[in-house]
Amino acid sequence: MAVAAIAGLAFGPVSLPPGGVAAELLDLIPGVDIHSGLTERDAAILLQLRLPRVVLALLAGAMLSLAGACYQGAFRNPLADPYLLGAAAGAGLAVTAVVALRGADLGSLPPSVPLAAFAGALIAVALTYLLGVGGRDRSPASLILAGVAVSAFLAAGQTYLMQRNADDIRAIYSWLLGRLATNGWHEVRLLLPYAVVTTVVVLALRRELDVLSVGDDEASSLGLHPQRSRFILIAAASLGTAAAVSVSGLIGFVGIVVPHIVRMLAGGSYRAILPLSMLFGAAFLALADLAGRTFAAPAEIPIGVVTAFVGGPFFVLVLRSAKRVLT
């Protein structure tokens, strides 16, 4: 994660020396006095433009990855992630409604937007769960199909709002593709409290995810209340997803790519999967943002497009590996 952060800060349309970047960051620590060698212009680019953007990428990536790992454990489904369960679509519809109906500016979102996105995400996940698990068919495939249906329905509502508010359609469409453009530290300050709450709650219950993985009957025999634990975990993961979506747009596949890579490296215990997913997810999104800023410079590729290029083929591989479970 540290390497990804330094790379994101050093490289771009204007390249900065990585050593000077690291020294300038260390100089920000109280009591540390290091001369970085950066010019005043380079220091302004680093501290006022790139640092807020990279911090936002680290936070959003950590939240989406943590949410994906949490959903996969809570639903005992290797294909669950904020995108496939409809959480991102629900949050996206809520943000679009706030922007379109109340005239909010995407460049300086009010504090109420993450809460509206949280409500939308929670409703979407609840609908997906009721449709996918409420009947006799409780297979992982039914949950994913329910998520696709809910996402399609919410996307239709989002499209309707965009068509009814043509003046805002360009800004909303840019947001839908994913973007980490920042207005100083405003977006970071908006996301940080929700990220802290989500992290504390999910990591505090990481042992319960390990217990849930053996099944509800076995978890109950071990003294756990499965439904209560699952609700708290899903609510916390939805809060983190909604906050990330509200400031960065719809960025897909982070929540499914990163936890699977972590499982391959660290095993199946959620005591390791959750914190490592946060670190790897933060690094993944910071590097994806760097790729979007540099591959087509001076133009910028939306970060959602970059993650889709990586995540699409990876999802196909995961789907093939989970074939026996789905059938």
CB 73 within 8 A of CB 214: no
pLDDT tens digits along 240-254: 999 998 888 888 889
Q: What is the pLDDT of residue 14?
A: 84
Q: What is the pLDDT of residue 326?
A: 45
The DSSP line for 151-193 is HHHHHHHHHHHHHH-GGGHHHHHHHHT-----STTHHHHHHHH
Percent of the chain scoring above 70 in pLDDT = 91
| 320 — pLDDT class (breaks 50, 70, 90) | confident
The DSSP line for 116-140 is HHHHHHHHHHHHHHHHHHSSS---H
Q: Is 70 exceeded by the pLDDT of residue 310?
A: yes
CB 24 within 8 A of CB 37: no
Q: What is the mean pLDDT of residues 248-276?
A: 91
Q: What is the pLDDT of residue 135?
A: 54
Residue 1 CA to its chain's centroid (Å): 16
> DSSP class of residue 75?
H
**Full-model pTM:** 0.88
Highest mean pLDDT among 73-87, 195-209, 313-327: 195-209
State the chain's mean pLDDT as an integer: 86
Which range (162-176, 189-203, 313-327) has the least confidence? 313-327
- Cα 63 to Cα 5: distance, rounded to the nearest angstrom: 16
- Cα 176 to Cα 172: distance, rounded to the nearest angstrom: 6
Tokens representing 254 are 């982070």
Residue 15 CA to its chain's centroid (Å): 27
- Cα 275 to Cα 66: distance, rounded to the nearest angstrom: 8
Q: Is 90 exceeded by the pLDDT of residue 1?
A: yes
Q: How many CB atoms lie within 10 A of CB 44?
A: 11
Q: Residue 227: is it exposed, middle or buried by C-beta count within 10 angstroms (0-12/13-18/19+)?
A: exposed
The Cα-based distances of 239 to 23, 91, 107, 195, 321 in angstroms read: 35, 10, 21, 8, 30
Q: What is the mean pLDDT of residues 276-302?
A: 91
Q: How many CB atoms lie within 10 A of CB 235?
A: 16
Q: What is the pLDDT of residue 28?
A: 87
Q: Is 90 exceeded by the pLDDT of residue 59?
A: yes
> Among all chains, which residue has been given the structure tokens 């433009």?
49
Which residue type does 277 have? S
Q: What is the pLDDT of residue 237?
A: 93
Q: Residue 222: is it exposed, middle or buried by C-beta count within 10 angstroms (0-12/13-18/19+)?
A: exposed
Tokens representing 310 are 């990586």
Q: What is the pLDDT of residue 147?
A: 86
Q: What is the mean pLDDT of residues 276-292?
A: 95
pLDDT tens digits along 140-190: 667 778 888 999 999 899 888 888 877 767 777 777 778 887 778 888 998
Tokens representing 42 are 């380079």
Q: What is the pLDDT of residue 136?
A: 54
Q: Is 50 exceeded by the pLDDT of residue 76?
A: yes
Q: Is 60 exceeded by the pLDDT of residue 309?
A: yes
- Cα 136 to Cα 80: distance, rounded to the nearest angstrom: 19
Q: Which domains does the chain have, with CATH numbers?
A: 58-318 (1.10.3470.10)
Percent of the chain scoring above 90 in pLDDT = 35
Q: What is the pLDDT of residue 95?
A: 84
Tokens representing 49 are 């433009």
